């Protein structure tokens, strides 16, 4: 992607007419070689607000036609760096979305640093756009873009914030740490659909399984994925329903099928590894309902027997984010609290073991 941009000039588009105002006195007095700020996928409202915020500095804000760099470090900074170098821009600003939500990104070419902060879903109201534009302006002021400090800014662009300016996210070279969202930010709800195979507990037979779960991460932040490897662990709780495909039970005394389904409450923690990968571990407690139905051969009578059994389980998770959806591989082990034995005239026709192993493939989608 970097090679494509290096070979293809960027096409600029003017901001909407409502953004183009008569230059202020401060803008008129600015140097002719105004700093170029490229915006990507910000929308008209936020683009206008940013143009208005940077107008007193005489900066030139233009809308670029290139794809926005995305929300994964370090690739996002590398793409923004290539774009800024190609076009001679001082800063690149874009809005990116991943599985956790939206984030507003700012890349400063002088310091070769990126910042990100949580953002609500567009389209933006005027007040929200103005607040986001102010946060971008604050970052650029600290980076030394404003005319008053541009000449004295250090080579790496780092400056201590003044008491009159809000504190932006702490920048780091080569990676981005996202700012925490405001109090009361939306929680992270996710729904998952999975399918796989379980070995046991019925006579160690492989059994096809499928499940549906609803997961809630109470501490999740919309900008969590922007933190890359430094992302903090995220706890979660989940409610799930699971079932299996009926298994045939065949013997001299009985002919029928065995079916097991369950409701489950689980909890666990995940840790981001960067580049879209996440690992996790969890535990769950479930109530399994197992039913044996069929015909007793010698008696020629229908049989229908249902047992309840609590089950404890441990599971791992290796997850790959694919934009909004995520794909996960989940190995696990189950401990059945008691054995189950199905009898006809005191003679066993089916038995369950105390342990089972499983491997599931899961597709997860965000709901917020």
φ, ψ at 342 (rounded to 5°)? -100, 125
DSSP state of 180: P
Q: Are 219 and 355 members of one domain?
A: yes
Rounded (to 5) percent helix, strand, coil in the chain: 20, 50, 35
Q: Which of 103-112, 272-281, 358-367 has the highest mean pLDDT?
A: 358-367
Q: What is the mean pLDDT of residues 98-111?
A: 86
Cα distance between residue 66 and residue 85, in whole Å = 14
Instruction: Output the six-digit token pair for 6.
Output: 């290096």
Let me know whether 296 and 346 are in one domain.
yes
Q: How confident is the model at residue 147 (pLDDT cuts 50, 70, 90)?
A: low
The last residue of one of the domains, among 179, 196, 224, is: 179
CATH of the domain at 219: 2.40.160.20
| CA 12 – CA 171 distance, rounded (Å) | 28
Q: Please state the domain count of the chain.
A: 2
Nearest to 138 by CA among 156, 117, 110: 117
Residue 34 pLDDT exceeds 90: no
Residue with tokens 């995305």: 70
Same domain? For 35 and 173 the reply is yes
| 221 and 131 within one domain | no
Range from 57-66, 130-139, 239-248 that averages highest in pLDDT: 239-248
Regarding whether 8 and 117 lie in a shared domain, the answer is yes
**Residue 77 and residue 110 in one domain:** yes
CA atoms 319, 321, 324, 327: torsion sign? negative
The average pLDDT across 130-145 equals 84
Burial class of residue 33, CB neighbours in 10 A (0-12, 13-18, 19+): exposed
Beta bridge partners of 238: 215, 266
Residue-wise pLDDT tens digits, 62-97: 888 888 888 888 888 889 898 888 888 888 998 888
DSSP state of 22: P
Angle between helices 126-142 and 43-54 (to 10 degrees): 50
Domain containing residue 115: 2-179
pLDDT value of residue 28: 42
C-alpha distances (whole Å) from 188 to each of 105, 212, 218, 219, 320 are 21, 17, 7, 8, 17
Tens digits of per-residue pLDDT, 270-299? 998 877 899 999 999 999 999 999 998 878
Distance separating alpha carbons of residues 141 and 161, to the nearest angstrom: 8
Q: How far, in Å, CA of 60 to CA of 58, rounded?
A: 7
Same domain, 173 and 196: no
Are 208 and 137 part of one and the same domain? no
- Its pTM stands at 0.51
CA 51-52-58 angle, 5° bins: 70
Sign of the dihedral through C-alpha 300, 301, 304, 307: negative
Q: Tell me, yes or no, whether 210 and 245 share the same domain.
A: yes
In this prediction, what percent of the chain has a pLDDT beyond 70?
Answer: 76
């Amino acid at each position: 992607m970097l090679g494509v941009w290096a070979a293809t000039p960027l096409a600029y588009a003017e901001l909407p007419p409502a953004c183009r105002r008569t230059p202020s006195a401060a803008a008129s007095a600015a140097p002719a070689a105004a700093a170029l700020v490229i915006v990507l996928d910000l929308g008209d409202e936020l683009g206008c607000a940013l143009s208005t915020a940077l107008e007193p500095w005489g900066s030139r804000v233009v809308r670029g036609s290139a794809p926005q760099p995305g929300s994964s470090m370090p690739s996002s900074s590398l793409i923004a760096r290539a774009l800024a170098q190609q076009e001679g821009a001082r800063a690149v600003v874009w809005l990116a979305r991943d599985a956790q939500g939206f984030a507003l990104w700012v890349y400063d070419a002088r310091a070769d640093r990126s910042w990100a902060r949580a953002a609500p879903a567009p389209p933006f109201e005027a007040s929200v756009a103005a607040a986001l534009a102010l946060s971008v302006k604050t970052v650029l002021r600290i980076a030394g873009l404003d005319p008053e400090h541009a000449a004295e800014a250090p080579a790496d662009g780092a400056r201590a914030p003044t008491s009159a300016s809000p504190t932006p996210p702490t920048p780091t070279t080569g990676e981005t740490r996202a700012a925490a969202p405001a109090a009361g930010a939306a929680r992270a709800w996710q729904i998952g659909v999975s399918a796989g195979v379980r070995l046991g507990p019925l006579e160690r037979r492989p059994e096809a399984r499928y499940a549906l779960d609803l997961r809630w991460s109470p501490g999740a932040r919309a900008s969590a994925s922007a933190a890359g490897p430094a992302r903090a662990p995220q706890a979660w709780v989940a409610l799930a329903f699971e079932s299996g495909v009926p298994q045939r039970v065949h013997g001299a005394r009985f002919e029928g099928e065995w079916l097991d389904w369950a409701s489950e409450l689980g909890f666990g923690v995940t840790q981001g590894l960067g580049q879209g990968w996440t690992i996790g571990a969890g535990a769950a407690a479930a109530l399994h309902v197992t039913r044996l139905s069929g015909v007793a051969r010698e008696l020629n009578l229908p049989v229908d027997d249902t047992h309840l059994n609590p089950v404890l389980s441990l599971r791992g998770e290796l997850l790959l984010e694919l934009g909004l959806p995520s794909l996960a591989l989940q190995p696990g082990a189950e401990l059945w609290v008691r054995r189950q034995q199905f009898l006809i005239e005191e003679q066993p026709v089916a038995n369950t073991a105390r342990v089972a192993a499983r491997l599931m493939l899961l597709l997860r989608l965000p709901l917020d």
